[in-house]
Structure 1
Amino acid sequence: MASPFRPALELMTQYAAYHRDRRNIATHFVGIPLIVFAIGVLLARLQFSIGGIALNGAWALCAVSALWYLTRGEFTLGLATVAVNALLMALATPLAEGSVAAWLAWGLGSFIVGWVIQFVGHYYEGRKPAFVDDMVGLLVGPMFVVGEWLFALGWGRELLAEIERRVGPTHLRDLAHPAT
Protein backbone atom coordinates (compact mmCIF):
# COMPACT_ATOMS: atom_id res chain seq x y z
CA MET A 1 0.00 0.00 0.00
CA ALA A 2 1.28 3.45 -0.90
CA SER A 3 1.95 5.95 1.87
CA PRO A 4 -0.98 8.17 2.85
CA PHE A 5 1.54 11.00 3.29
CA ARG A 6 2.25 11.58 -0.40
CA PRO A 7 2.13 15.13 -1.82
CA ALA A 8 -1.18 16.55 -3.04
CA LEU A 9 -0.11 16.27 -6.69
CA GLU A 10 0.40 12.51 -6.40
CA LEU A 11 -2.78 12.01 -4.39
CA MET A 12 -4.89 14.15 -6.72
CA THR A 13 -3.41 12.48 -9.81
CA GLN A 14 -4.13 9.00 -8.53
CA TYR A 15 -7.68 10.00 -7.59
CA ALA A 16 -8.21 11.83 -10.89
CA ALA A 17 -7.30 8.66 -12.81
CA TYR A 18 -10.56 7.18 -11.47
CA HIS A 19 -12.52 10.35 -12.18
CA ARG A 20 -12.25 11.56 -15.78
CA ASP A 21 -15.93 11.46 -16.79
CA ARG A 22 -17.47 14.87 -16.10
CA ARG A 23 -20.77 13.28 -14.98
CA ASN A 24 -18.89 11.28 -12.36
CA ILE A 25 -17.11 14.41 -11.13
CA ALA A 26 -20.47 16.22 -10.97
CA THR A 27 -21.97 13.48 -8.79
CA HIS A 28 -19.00 13.82 -6.45
CA PHE A 29 -19.91 17.48 -5.83
CA VAL A 30 -23.06 16.17 -4.13
CA GLY A 31 -22.12 12.69 -2.93
CA ILE A 32 -18.87 13.47 -1.13
CA PRO A 33 -20.22 16.42 0.89
CA LEU A 34 -23.22 14.29 1.87
CA ILE A 35 -20.92 11.51 3.06
CA VAL A 36 -18.67 13.90 5.01
CA PHE A 37 -21.78 15.52 6.52
CA ALA A 38 -23.17 12.09 7.45
CA ILE A 39 -19.94 11.06 9.13
CA GLY A 40 -20.08 14.34 11.06
CA VAL A 41 -23.66 13.66 12.18
CA LEU A 42 -22.82 10.13 13.29
CA LEU A 43 -19.56 11.03 15.07
CA ALA A 44 -20.89 14.17 16.76
CA ARG A 45 -22.90 12.01 19.15
CA LEU A 46 -19.61 10.72 20.59
CA GLN A 47 -18.93 13.29 23.32
CA PHE A 48 -15.72 13.49 25.38
CA SER A 49 -13.47 15.96 27.13
CA ILE A 50 -9.74 16.57 26.84
CA GLY A 51 -8.14 18.89 29.37
CA GLY A 52 -11.54 20.25 30.35
CA ILE A 53 -12.44 21.05 26.74
CA ALA A 54 -15.67 19.43 25.56
CA LEU A 55 -15.27 17.79 22.16
CA ASN A 56 -17.08 15.34 19.96
CA GLY A 57 -15.95 12.75 17.45
CA ALA A 58 -16.85 14.91 14.45
CA TRP A 59 -14.61 17.79 15.51
CA ALA A 60 -11.83 15.41 16.56
CA LEU A 61 -11.83 13.81 13.10
CA CYS A 62 -11.99 17.26 11.51
CA ALA A 63 -8.92 18.38 13.50
CA VAL A 64 -6.87 15.27 12.71
CA SER A 65 -7.78 15.38 9.02
CA ALA A 66 -6.97 19.12 8.95
CA LEU A 67 -3.38 18.34 9.88
CA TRP A 68 -3.21 15.85 7.02
CA TYR A 69 -4.74 18.23 4.43
CA LEU A 70 -2.53 21.14 5.47
CA THR A 71 0.66 19.09 5.12
CA ARG A 72 0.19 17.71 1.58
CA GLY A 73 2.17 20.56 -0.01
CA GLU A 74 -0.68 22.61 -1.49
CA PHE A 75 -1.57 24.89 1.41
CA THR A 76 -4.43 26.76 -0.31
CA LEU A 77 -6.06 23.50 -1.39
CA GLY A 78 -5.57 22.06 2.09
CA LEU A 79 -6.97 25.14 3.82
CA ALA A 80 -10.00 25.28 1.53
CA THR A 81 -10.67 21.57 2.16
CA VAL A 82 -10.40 22.09 5.91
CA ALA A 83 -12.82 25.04 5.69
CA VAL A 84 -15.39 23.03 3.72
CA ASN A 85 -15.09 20.05 6.06
CA ALA A 86 -15.41 22.33 9.10
CA LEU A 87 -18.55 23.89 7.63
CA LEU A 88 -20.02 20.42 7.11
CA MET A 89 -19.14 19.49 10.72
CA ALA A 90 -20.76 22.70 11.99
CA LEU A 91 -23.94 21.83 10.09
CA ALA A 92 -23.83 18.21 11.23
CA THR A 93 -23.14 18.67 14.94
CA PRO A 94 -26.57 20.02 16.01
CA LEU A 95 -28.27 17.01 14.42
CA ALA A 96 -26.54 14.69 16.88
CA GLU A 97 -28.39 16.38 19.73
CA GLY A 98 -31.83 15.21 18.60
CA SER A 99 -33.54 11.93 19.30
CA VAL A 100 -31.75 8.71 18.42
CA ALA A 101 -34.19 8.16 15.55
CA ALA A 102 -33.59 11.63 14.09
CA TRP A 103 -29.81 11.33 14.56
CA LEU A 104 -29.72 7.96 12.78
CA ALA A 105 -32.11 9.13 10.05
CA TRP A 106 -29.92 12.13 9.26
CA GLY A 107 -26.64 10.27 9.65
CA LEU A 108 -27.45 7.00 7.92
CA GLY A 109 -29.81 8.60 5.41
CA SER A 110 -27.21 11.12 4.24
CA PHE A 111 -24.53 8.44 4.17
CA ILE A 112 -26.59 6.05 2.04
CA VAL A 113 -27.83 8.76 -0.34
CA GLY A 114 -24.28 10.08 -0.70
CA TRP A 115 -22.93 6.65 -1.62
CA VAL A 116 -25.78 5.94 -4.05
CA ILE A 117 -24.92 9.20 -5.83
CA GLN A 118 -21.23 8.18 -5.85
CA PHE A 119 -22.00 4.81 -7.39
CA VAL A 120 -24.18 6.43 -10.06
CA GLY A 121 -21.18 8.57 -10.94
CA HIS A 122 -18.93 5.54 -11.15
CA TYR A 123 -21.43 3.89 -13.48
CA TYR A 124 -20.81 6.80 -15.85
CA GLU A 125 -17.08 6.46 -15.29
CA GLY A 126 -17.07 2.74 -15.92
CA ARG A 127 -14.60 2.28 -13.04
CA LYS A 128 -14.72 1.36 -9.41
CA PRO A 129 -14.19 4.07 -6.78
CA ALA A 130 -10.55 4.97 -6.05
CA PHE A 131 -10.71 3.91 -2.39
CA VAL A 132 -11.19 0.27 -3.46
CA ASP A 133 -7.52 0.21 -4.51
CA ASP A 134 -6.19 2.70 -1.94
CA MET A 135 -8.11 3.55 1.24
CA VAL A 136 -6.47 7.00 1.35
CA GLY A 137 -8.92 7.83 -1.44
CA LEU A 138 -11.49 8.33 1.32
CA LEU A 139 -9.46 11.35 2.48
CA VAL A 140 -8.57 12.49 -1.02
CA GLY A 141 -12.21 12.63 -2.15
CA PRO A 142 -13.06 15.84 -0.28
CA MET A 143 -9.76 17.40 -1.40
CA PHE A 144 -10.50 16.43 -5.01
CA VAL A 145 -13.97 18.01 -4.93
CA VAL A 146 -12.61 21.22 -3.38
CA GLY A 147 -9.76 21.16 -5.91
CA GLU A 148 -12.20 20.84 -8.82
CA TRP A 149 -14.18 23.77 -7.44
CA LEU A 150 -11.00 25.86 -7.08
CA PHE A 151 -9.84 24.88 -10.58
CA ALA A 152 -13.20 26.07 -11.96
CA LEU A 153 -12.58 29.42 -10.20
CA GLY A 154 -9.18 29.74 -11.84
CA TRP A 155 -6.94 28.66 -8.94
CA GLY A 156 -4.20 26.07 -9.42
CA ARG A 157 -3.84 26.14 -13.18
CA GLU A 158 -0.36 24.58 -12.96
CA LEU A 159 -1.59 21.80 -10.66
CA LEU A 160 -4.53 21.06 -12.94
CA ALA A 161 -2.32 21.08 -16.03
CA GLU A 162 0.07 18.58 -14.44
CA ILE A 163 -2.77 16.30 -13.34
CA GLU A 164 -4.23 16.38 -16.86
CA ARG A 165 -0.79 15.79 -18.37
CA ARG A 166 -0.53 12.63 -16.28
CA VAL A 167 -4.07 11.23 -16.60
CA GLY A 168 -5.65 13.13 -19.49
CA PRO A 169 -8.47 15.65 -19.67
CA THR A 170 -11.99 15.06 -18.49
CA HIS A 171 -14.53 13.73 -20.98
CA LEU A 172 -17.96 12.17 -21.37
CA ARG A 173 -17.61 8.41 -21.73
CA ASP A 174 -19.73 6.80 -24.42
CA LEU A 175 -21.92 4.47 -22.36
CA ALA A 176 -22.56 2.26 -25.37
CA HIS A 177 -18.90 1.17 -25.31
CA PRO A 178 -16.92 -0.48 -22.51
CA ALA A 179 -14.49 1.65 -20.53
CA THR A 180 -10.90 1.51 -21.68
Structure 2
Amino acid sequence: MRKVDLLFAEYSKSHRNAANKFIHWICVPLIFWSILGFASLIPSPHFCASYFGCVSIISLIMIILITLFYIRLSFLISFIMIIIMLVMEHFIYLTNISFGRQSWMVYFSVFIITWIFQLIGHKIEGQKPTFLKDLKFLLIGPIWLLGFILKKIGIKY
Protein backbone atom coordinates (compact mmCIF):
# COMPACT_ATOMS: atom_id res chain seq x y z
CA MET A 1 0.00 0.00 0.00
CA ARG A 2 1.30 3.47 -0.89
CA LYS A 3 2.28 5.88 1.88
CA VAL A 4 -0.54 8.30 1.00
CA ASP A 5 -3.09 5.49 1.33
CA LEU A 6 -1.63 4.48 4.70
CA LEU A 7 -1.85 8.06 5.94
CA PHE A 8 -5.44 8.39 4.68
CA ALA A 9 -6.35 5.12 6.42
CA GLU A 10 -4.81 6.32 9.68
CA TYR A 11 -6.54 9.70 9.39
CA SER A 12 -9.87 8.00 8.62
CA LYS A 13 -9.80 6.06 11.89
CA SER A 14 -10.77 9.18 13.84
CA HIS A 15 -13.11 10.56 11.16
CA ARG A 16 -15.92 8.02 10.75
CA ASN A 17 -18.86 9.87 12.32
CA ALA A 18 -21.02 11.74 9.78
CA ALA A 19 -21.26 14.90 11.93
CA ASN A 20 -17.49 14.97 12.45
CA LYS A 21 -16.88 14.49 8.72
CA PHE A 22 -19.30 17.31 7.88
CA ILE A 23 -17.54 19.62 10.33
CA HIS A 24 -14.19 18.71 8.79
CA TRP A 25 -15.41 19.48 5.26
CA ILE A 26 -16.07 23.04 6.37
CA CYS A 27 -13.40 23.64 8.99
CA VAL A 28 -10.27 22.02 7.51
CA PRO A 29 -10.16 24.29 4.43
CA LEU A 30 -10.91 27.34 6.58
CA ILE A 31 -8.13 26.49 9.03
CA PHE A 32 -5.73 25.96 6.13
CA TRP A 33 -6.82 29.33 4.65
CA SER A 34 -6.42 31.13 7.97
CA ILE A 35 -2.89 29.80 8.46
CA LEU A 36 -1.91 30.96 4.97
CA GLY A 37 -3.60 34.26 5.86
CA PHE A 38 -1.46 34.65 8.98
CA ALA A 39 1.65 33.96 6.88
CA SER A 40 0.63 36.69 4.43
CA LEU A 41 0.79 39.24 7.25
CA ILE A 42 4.45 38.61 8.03
CA PRO A 43 6.30 41.60 6.56
CA SER A 44 8.10 40.51 3.39
CA PRO A 45 8.29 41.43 -0.28
CA HIS A 46 5.31 40.45 -2.43
CA PHE A 47 4.85 39.14 -5.96
CA CYS A 48 1.91 40.77 -7.70
CA ALA A 49 0.02 39.69 -10.81
CA SER A 50 -2.77 41.39 -12.71
CA TYR A 51 -6.23 40.01 -11.99
CA PHE A 52 -4.83 37.88 -9.17
CA GLY A 53 -3.37 40.11 -6.51
CA CYS A 54 -0.22 39.84 -4.44
CA VAL A 55 1.39 36.93 -2.63
CA SER A 56 4.05 37.40 0.03
CA ILE A 57 7.42 35.67 -0.20
CA ILE A 58 6.66 34.00 3.16
CA SER A 59 3.41 32.58 1.77
CA LEU A 60 5.21 31.34 -1.35
CA ILE A 61 7.86 29.63 0.78
CA MET A 62 5.10 27.94 2.80
CA ILE A 63 3.33 26.84 -0.38
CA ILE A 64 6.59 25.41 -1.76
CA LEU A 65 7.38 23.51 1.46
CA ILE A 66 3.83 22.13 1.71
CA THR A 67 3.95 21.14 -1.95
CA LEU A 68 7.26 19.31 -1.44
CA PHE A 69 5.61 17.31 1.35
CA TYR A 70 2.63 16.51 -0.90
CA ILE A 71 4.79 15.60 -3.92
CA ARG A 72 6.33 12.78 -1.87
CA LEU A 73 2.81 11.39 -1.43
CA SER A 74 1.19 12.06 -4.83
CA PHE A 75 2.12 14.23 -7.78
CA LEU A 76 -1.52 14.77 -8.80
CA ILE A 77 -2.60 15.75 -5.30
CA SER A 78 0.33 18.16 -4.98
CA PHE A 79 -0.51 19.77 -8.34
CA ILE A 80 -4.17 20.24 -7.40
CA MET A 81 -3.18 21.57 -3.97
CA ILE A 82 -0.93 24.20 -5.57
CA ILE A 83 -3.96 25.44 -7.49
CA ILE A 84 -6.12 25.37 -4.34
CA MET A 85 -3.48 27.23 -2.33
CA LEU A 86 -3.14 29.89 -5.02
CA VAL A 87 -6.92 30.35 -5.09
CA MET A 88 -6.80 30.68 -1.30
CA GLU A 89 -4.03 33.26 -1.68
CA HIS A 90 -6.26 35.28 -3.98
CA PHE A 91 -8.97 35.39 -1.29
CA ILE A 92 -6.33 36.19 1.31
CA TYR A 93 -5.23 39.14 -0.83
CA LEU A 94 -8.85 40.32 -1.07
CA THR A 95 -9.23 39.95 2.71
CA ASN A 96 -6.03 41.90 3.34
CA ILE A 97 -7.15 44.68 1.00
CA SER A 98 -10.66 44.81 2.48
CA PHE A 99 -9.70 44.70 6.16
CA GLY A 100 -6.24 46.26 6.03
CA ARG A 101 -4.45 46.14 9.38
CA GLN A 102 -7.45 44.41 10.94
CA SER A 103 -7.23 41.36 8.65
CA TRP A 104 -5.35 39.47 11.38
CA MET A 105 -8.62 39.54 13.36
CA VAL A 106 -10.42 37.81 10.50
CA TYR A 107 -7.79 35.04 10.34
CA PHE A 108 -7.70 34.73 14.13
CA SER A 109 -11.50 34.54 14.42
CA VAL A 110 -11.79 31.96 11.63
CA PHE A 111 -8.94 29.92 13.14
CA ILE A 112 -10.40 29.88 16.67
CA ILE A 113 -14.02 29.26 15.65
CA THR A 114 -13.13 26.45 13.25
CA TRP A 115 -10.89 24.74 15.81
CA ILE A 116 -13.71 24.90 18.36
CA PHE A 117 -15.95 23.14 15.84
CA GLN A 118 -13.19 20.63 15.05
CA LEU A 119 -12.91 19.76 18.75
CA ILE A 120 -16.70 19.45 19.00
CA GLY A 121 -16.58 17.08 16.02
CA HIS A 122 -13.95 14.94 17.69
CA LYS A 123 -15.95 14.96 20.93
CA ILE A 124 -18.95 13.66 18.95
CA GLU A 125 -16.66 11.12 17.26
CA GLY A 126 -15.22 10.01 20.57
CA GLN A 127 -11.70 10.08 19.10
CA LYS A 128 -8.79 12.44 19.64
CA PRO A 129 -7.55 14.42 16.62
CA THR A 130 -4.99 12.44 14.63
CA PHE A 131 -2.42 15.25 14.70
CA LEU A 132 -1.93 14.59 18.42
CA LYS A 133 -0.09 11.40 17.35
CA ASP A 134 1.91 13.12 14.61
CA LEU A 135 1.87 16.76 13.50
CA LYS A 136 2.09 15.81 9.82
CA PHE A 137 -1.60 14.94 10.02
CA LEU A 138 -2.30 18.68 10.08
CA LEU A 139 -1.24 18.59 6.41
CA ILE A 140 -3.04 15.31 5.71
CA GLY A 141 -6.51 16.70 6.51
CA PRO A 142 -6.78 18.91 3.40
CA ILE A 143 -5.57 16.18 1.03
CA TRP A 144 -7.75 13.56 2.74
CA LEU A 145 -10.72 15.66 1.62
CA LEU A 146 -9.23 16.05 -1.86
CA GLY A 147 -8.52 12.31 -2.04
CA PHE A 148 -12.18 11.63 -1.26
CA ILE A 149 -13.28 13.90 -4.12
CA LEU A 150 -10.83 12.29 -6.54
CA LYS A 151 -12.05 8.80 -5.61
CA LYS A 152 -15.69 9.87 -6.06
CA ILE A 153 -15.04 11.10 -9.59
CA GLY A 154 -12.88 8.09 -10.45
CA ILE A 155 -9.46 9.76 -10.66
CA LYS A 156 -6.51 7.81 -9.31
CA TYR A 157 -4.15 9.91 -7.30
TM over 0.5: yes
Deviations 1:76-131 (A, max 9, x none): 2232233222221221134235432x212211011112212212221221101110
Greater share of residues in helix? 2
3-state secondary structure, aligned to 2:134: coil
What amino acid maps onto 2:18 in structure 1? Answer: R
2:151 matched residue in structure 1:
151
Deviation at residue 35 of structure 1 after TM alignment: 0.4
- Is 1:30 the counterpart of 2:23? The answer is no
- Is 1:136 the counterpart of 2:136? The answer is yes
User: CA-atom RMSD, angstroms?
Assistant: 2.3
1:35-46 matches, within 5 Å, as 35-46=31-42
What amino acid maps onto 2:150 in structure 1? Answer: L
Structure 1 counterpart of 2:7, from 1, 5, 11: 11
1:59 and 1:46 map into 2 onto residues whose CA distance is 12
1:29 and 1:85 map into 2 onto residues whose CA distance is 16
1:64 matched residue in structure 2:
65
TM-score norm. by structure 2 comes to 0.81
What amino acid maps onto 1:28 in structure 2? Answer: H
1:8 and 1:82 map into 2 onto residues whose CA distance is 17
Structure ID, larger Rg:
1
3-state secondary structure, aligned to 1:63: helix
1:47-126 matches, within 5 Å, as 47-49=43-45, 55-72=56-73, 74-97=74-97, 98-100=99-101, 102-126=102-126
Gaps of 5+ in 2: 47-54
Contact 1:77 1:146 in 2 (8 A): yes
Gaps of 5+ in 1: 1-5, 160-180
Over 3 Å counting, the alpha-carbon distance change for 1:152 and 1:121 in structure 2 is farther
Deviation at residue 49 of structure 1 after TM alignment: 4.3
3-state secondary structure, aligned to 2:68: helix
Runs of 4+ in structure 1 deviating by more than 4 angstroms, as ranges, are none
TM-score norm. by structure 1 comes to 0.72
Deviations 1:110-157 (A, max 9, x none): 11122122122212211011101111111111111111222232334x
